[in-house]
Structure 1
Amino acid sequence: MTTTTAEPDGRATGATDGAGDTRAPRRTRTLATIGVNHALHDGYTDLIYVLLPVWQVEFGLGYVALALVRSLYVGALAGLQMPATALARTLGARAVLVLGTLLGAGGYALAGASGGVTGLCVALALSGAGSSTQHPLASAVIARTYGTGARGPLGTYNFAGDLGKAALPALAGLLLTHLDWRLVLWLAAGLGVVVAFGVATLLPREPVPREEAPARPHAAMPGAGSTDRTGFGLLVAVGMLDNAARPAFLLYLPFLLQEKGAVLATVGVAFGLAAVGGALGKAIFGRLGERFGVTRCVILSEAGTAVAILLVVALPLAPTLAVLPLLGLMLNGTSSVLYGTVPELAPHGRVERAFAVFYTWTLGGSAVATPLLYGPLGDAVGPRWAAVAAAATAFAVVPIMLVLSPHLARKP
């Protein structure tokens, strides 16, 4: 007879049929399904960068306006992280993930139907709202599914996201040479509907408990009993700077490439190269964080990011394309290490809330900083110096990381 058991904290451990434990296949299916969903949503996020030069010509936008267009998507994504987490306690994580993916796809379909900047902005905000469901819920699903062994799977999850960043923008760049940008967005929306159906079909029901029970943390749960709010706050600060540097640079990458003679197809390929490196960075640095420690890995990745950005600014087109995979590796290497540390520093073991807070502040900071700081900077001094400012932002992580290091050493 098939039975399902649960741990005291509400985590389903999977079904057994008398022939053995089936938790491993269940975990694999969960990770694979969530990984594909992550690839779609991260692909949606970076698809915007490839379209910025198109929208600049189509609507006559400056850098401030382009930064604002992108930030509407990211702002909605960041601002609705915690409401999405709360909604999952009522509807269940799977239902919210499916609805969010459908909303993200619907936003892109509406963007393709828009005839002006206002409609485009509304559509991108809706798509960002749909994507807000993905990060906190999916990360918490993995953290609870794998328990104390979650750091590696979280790295795999983030690796999957960068596969989407590599594939979707590169494919869109190639399609834009033959198709109207509106049709490209409709094709992206159709892909989202397919992925939503897959999540509804394959993701196990209720992989995240509807209510958290911080007063009775399970011993195997990462973050159980942690009360180091200062350490978690410093981790959020590091994440905010890291997430500000990445879009601040990527906002100007298409225009830097065009200055070097790149066409739209080359721009799409360039983002694909950076994303391939980013995927490797998230996979590699997630494992390196386990072996060599969080502090060393974050300092290496942020310093490497700053140097690689400066190389992209200074080099001609061909060497720049060669540097982009290395830049992507460094640019995204930090995030896997940070995501894997969130459950360990989650105050009072509230993993879902910790992920929601982390993503809200880090992505929200990016959404605010890009139009208010880096957009005006680009209009004032041009893409090259704005990219240099992004490099300085990445390097600013290093001293904060040194302050955070003792808190990591003391974690329970």
Structure 2
Amino acid sequence: MATSTAPIRAAEHPDPPPATKKRSLWAACLAHALHDGYTDGLYAFLPIWQAQFGLSYAMLAALRALYFATMGGLQMPAVRVLRGVSSRVALILSTVVAAAGLLIMALPSGLAGLCIGLAVAGIGSSIQHPRASMLVIDSYGKASRGPLGIYNFAGDLGKAALPALVAVLLPVLAWQPVLGLMAGLGIALAVALAWLAPATLSAGQASDRAAAGGRGGFGILIVIGTLDTATRMGYLLFLPFLIQGRGGDTPEIGLGLALLFIGGAFGKATCGWLGERMGVIGSVMATKGVTALLILATLFTPLTEMMIVLPALGIVLNGTSSVLYGAVPDLASKGDLGRAFAVFYTFVIGSGGLAPIAYGAIADVGGQTVGVLATVATTVLIVPLALSLRPALRR
């Protein structure tokens, strides 16, 4: 029996009950936490792989690129290929494929097996971002800004928890069993997703909302998201050196990063609701204006005062992303919200990889302060771009 591709009216798909919404949000958040944990947990293995396989730093960067290139570059193809499957199937497949990639890496197959495993794991993770985001949108409809902030926050929890677990296990176990345990977490999550995630995609709200939209401004939103990520990754490049320049040592650098990340996680969890109350434009202008001021403050304050500033800076530096994710359904072109999320994430992930290189080149020429001021200039540039969204949002 043929399946119609026409937009499904929201009235045909009643609002899911609260328990179903909560299960869907849990499914999306757990998937995000695991896959982002996989992404950052791989960093802990780099020194071990360098020693075992005799890799240069350039070759290590190439290894990392295998994962990030497949994860970032295949999001749009993944959405197209899996268009006809439910969120449950998509997220389970995403998690199983990523875990399979880790298992391939853990096999005694040398550097070639490691490369293949990294690419396979990246393919699995490429599915997660757009489909998990769509699951939240489908469940919460117009009230999805806050839940998307929680989803965004869950990724930071995974980035903190899984690398810490890897760091504890590596001195005790060989790296292959540690990868096997990480893969086991993925299989366990896949089993949990079979219960948590809905069996069918409640596409009525999302498709109807997207079809009624086509409002324009989505390209501007992508540019804002790209610049926002560039600012964040650029500042993180310089922060250890700023602390070191104030007389801080390794413990202080670790503390400073932790304070920034704690504030960032809180910002991602709360700024989605800020977007609901202040609107997209007001929230972006407020968070980016404060970001610029606090980055400048870290250039001129002593170490103790700088440490006090860092949690607040983390809130606004990271929190904007939740506002932007929540605006995707409002500004995406009609017809395919899943593809819109895939496009958005592709540019954001790409910016995260390329921006530190650009800011590093600026600092190499003009010095560290000029590099940090370049991140401030990028942040300030977001403000007029946010204002240019007003006509699209009014429509």
Find 2:222's aligned residue among 236, 239, 260.
236
Output aligned runs, 1:268-279, within 5 Å. Answer: 273-279=259-265
- Aligned-partner residue type, residue 233 of structure 1: G
Aligned to 2:156: 162
Unmatched runs of 5 consecutive residues or more in structure 1: 1-6, 15-21, 210-216
Change (3 A) 1:107 1:10: farther
What secondary structure, in the 3-state scheme, does the structure 2 residue paired with 1:167 have?
Answer: helix
* 1:262 is the counterpart of 2:256: no
Contact 1:140 1:208 in 2 (8 A): no
What secondary structure, in the 3-state scheme, does the structure 1 residue paired with 2:181 have?
Answer: helix
Aligned to 1:214: none
The CA RMSD measured in Å over matched residues stands at: 3.9
Change (3 A) 1:66 1:379: farther
Aligned to 1:342: 328
Following TM superposition, by how much is the alpha carbon of 1:340 offset from its aligned partner in structure 2, in angstroms?
0.8
Answer with 373-382 or 282-291: which moved more: 373-382
Contact 1:53 1:255 in 2 (8 A): no
Find 2:137's aligned residue among 132, 137, 143.
143
Change (3 A) 1:317 1:167: farther
Find 2:190's aligned residue among 158, 181, 196.
196
- Aligned-partner residue type, residue 280 of structure 1: F
Change (3 A) 1:335 1:347: same
Find 1:295's aligned residue among 258, 272, 281.
281
Change (3 A) 1:112 1:255: farther
Change (3 A) 1:397 1:171: farther
Aligned to 2:385: 400
Unmatched runs of 5 consecutive residues or more in structure 2: 1-7
Change (3 A) 1:61 1:302: farther
What secondary structure, in the 3-state scheme, does the structure 1 residue paired with 2:209 have?
Answer: coil
Contact 1:223 1:351 in 2 (8 A): yes
What secondary structure, in the 3-state scheme, does the structure 2 residue paired with 1:331 have?
Answer: helix
User: What's the TM-score once normalised by structure 2's chain length?
Assistant: 0.80
Find 1:134's aligned residue among 118, 128, 132.
128
* 1:47 is the counterpart of 2:41: yes
Answer with 176-185 or 102-111: which moved more: 176-185
Deviation string 1:226-251 (CA, Å, 9 cap, x unpaired) is 2323x111011101112223334445
Matches of 2:108 and 2:237 in 1, distance apart? 22
Find 1:76's aligned residue among 62, 70, 74.
70
Matches of 2:111 and 2:233 in 1, distance apart? 21
Matches of 2:21 and 2:356 in 1, distance apart? 37
Change (3 A) 1:178 1:219: closer
How many residues are treated as equivalent by the alignment?
A: 385
Contact 1:225 1:347 in 2 (8 A): no
